[in-house]
Structures are given as structure tokens and as C-alpha cells.
Structure 1
Amino acid sequence: MMASDLKLNRRQELFCQAFAAGGNAAAAARKAGYSVKAADRIGERLLRNAEVSARVRALSEEADAKLIATSRERQQMWTSIMRDTRIEPKDRLKASELLGKAQGDFLERVALSGQNGAPLGPPPNLIINFVPAKDGKPVIEAES
């Protein structure tokens, strides 16, 4: 969400930027130019404002997007390490392994079946009883 999409005044925008950077409403209010004496109350009030909180959320999401590597970025990094002949072979092999795992190259598919290839099902003669407990939550008892 762009700042122009919201109807924030200059001090509200400064508050949003300071709060998103530091997470302290009173300090953000002071940095935005609000009264030092009333900064606690003003900061709290601003955070209850829907447009201000939406702007803070948008700024926080932008910051997170810059800090957290995407799947593609990790794959690019592992690929560059894997292909760099100056890096130790064990580290190149580890990068190759991580890249393969991320791309699903090493999935092992196992088919489970019962006796003589029959489909799996519940064990024969299994009885499940739902018994109310003293605290009102059901307790499961199984007998075989």
C-alpha cells in the first residue's frame, strides 16, 4: 500500500516510518514532532487509527521482504556456491545437496500395503471408546 493511497498528514507518515523502524509508539510520536509530554497518549491513539495502522503494516511488510531471502534467492546462492571451483568441494557438495532438497530431487516414495498386497486398514477387532473425562474433554480408550 502506497503512502499516497492513504490520507495521512506529514506527521502521521513520519510516525508510521519511525514506528515501523523501532516499534515504540511514544518514541515514534516524538520523532514525528508530536508533543514530548503527550507522546505516550498520541502514539497509542495513532496506532488505533485504521489508516495509520495499515501504513505501519505495509512498511513492516516491505522491510520484511527486504530482510528475508526468497526461495529463488536461496537457490541462486546455492547454485553459485556449487559452481564456484574456488570453494572447498565439501561445501560445494553441501550446496548441491541443499539445492536438490529444495527442488524435491531426493523424495523417496514408499508404497505401504497390508498382508499379500492388500490395502492397509485398521487392525481387526479394534474398539475405540470415547469416554467423557472429569474436565469435560473426551478421552479416547482403545481396546484390541
Structure 2
Amino acid sequence: MKQIIEKALTVLLMIYAGSAAAEGKVNDLCHIGNRVDKLEITNYPQGYTSPVSIDEGRLNEIYKYKVEITDLDDKESKKIVELLQMDYAEQEENVTNLRWRVNITSYQNKKCDIYFDGFGLCGKINGENVCFRHNEMIRWIESHISVFLHSVNE
């Protein structure tokens, strides 16, 4: 059932994104370069409800889980840079059910703030409203950080 819903949402996303103003690679908005030094991930799991919509400020206040990784090794750094090559499409509608925040700091101390809704379909990149195509970053987070994997699959 979850796969059917995800496929339906992906189709709707593609239809909606087709009318978007601009599209590109996530790193086009991030300008991280080819080396990531620090990664900070926060999460407010889908299983938790909130009486108000969750925007960036609210997510940063009420998150349930936070993982900070400093001094990433070369292999993980390259993987994050690779994940930043995923496609995005700008959208006008503001995403207000954010559940994930991925804050990336480059070796040159450049920062990128990426927010995702619970499905990883839409969110924000450095304040720009976007939708994502083939969001592998969420899958990578779930498979590499066991605290998040446990909380997401409750």
C-alpha cells in the first residue's frame, strides 16, 4: 500500500513539477563543491502529530532526533556530494509539513540547508520551495543512521 501511495504521489509531483518555474540539481542551489565536512540531520517522525503545520522554524524547535557528524571521511563526503546531484524543480506553493532537515557544511565552510516533507517529495533548499525527483538522500539517511531507521519504521 505504501508503494502505491508513493507512486501516486510521484506521478502527481511530476505533473505539478512540469509547470514549475525552474529546475536543476540540488547542488546548484547549495554550492557545496566537492567536499563535505559536516552533516547535521534532524527529524520529526511521521508518526508524531502536531497541532500546527511544521515549517523550518517549528521543526528546529520540536524535532525528536538529531544526529551531527563532524569531519566526514572521504567516502561519505563523496556520497553526500553525489546525493546533492539529485534533481529538483522549484514550486510556488510553500511546504508546511516538514519532517527532515539536512544541514550540510562544506570543507570551505559553505552551508546548505535542505528540508524535506515526510515522504521526501518536496521541501526547501536554502529557503527556496522545491520538489525533488528520485530523492535518494532520504533513503541514504534511513539506511545509514540507525536511530532514524528505527524511528521512521515504527
TM-score range, shorter chain: under 0.3
TM-score normalised by the chain length of structure 2: 0.22
Specify the structure having the higher radius of gyration (Cα): 1
The structure that is helix-richer by fraction is: 1
TM-score normalised by the chain length of structure 1: 0.23
* Higher RCO structure (Cα 8 Å, ≥6 apart): 2
The structure that is strand-richer by fraction is: 2
